[in-house]
Amino acid sequence: MLKTILAISGKPGLYKLVSRGNRSLIVETIDAQHRRMPAFGTDKVISLADIAMYTDDEEVPLNNVFNSMKTLEEGKRSAFDYKKASKEELAEYLAKVLPNFDRDRVFPSDIKKLIQWYNILVDNDLADFEEPATEEATAEEAPAETAE
């Protein structure tokens, strides 16, 4: 699901991929208006499925972070006021969600954007953050048959 949800650098909010045009993507805002507009090759467009958060060990995919937030917030919108929070309060909140996040490489603006995106997705009933099983994963899980 997060593969079709896009963030466009320099534009607020999140967008849903609707179609591909000739030299552009057709996106729709994820809000009440559902405005459609083109996103051109000059725009920096990234899928939420391609974003990860830095931790002390490795990078954690955004869907795992969203799942942790969903568990913490009990599936509801985040009540945390990220707009007025200090750097320390933002770090404390993210520590509840992702205890071993890298405090040097995750900036307060990243935490604010994370909470904002989570609220947008929950408000628009797009809070299914589970990754669908891929063919490779199901092939690995299937028991291997032995030839006699």
**Chain segment 95-125, per-residue pLDDT in tens:** 999 999 999 999 999 999 999 999 999 999 8
Q: Are 76 and 122 in contact (CB under 8 A)?
A: yes
CATH class for the domain made up of 51-123: mainly alpha
CATH 1.10.10.1650 residue window(s) in the chain: 51-123
C-alpha distances (whole Å) from 31 to each of 5, 17, 35, 55, 131 are 12, 14, 8, 31, 23
CATH 2.30.30.730 residue window(s) in the chain: 2-48
To the nearest whole number, what is the mean pLDDT of the chain? 87
What pLDDT does 22 receive?
Answer: 86
**CATH-assigned architecture of domain 2-48:** Roll (2.30)
What pLDDT does 47 receive?
Answer: 93
What pLDDT does 30 receive?
Answer: 93
* Total-model pTM: 0.83
The single-letter code of the amino acid at 86 is S
The single-letter code of the amino acid at 138 is T
133 — pLDDT class (breaks 50, 70, 90): low
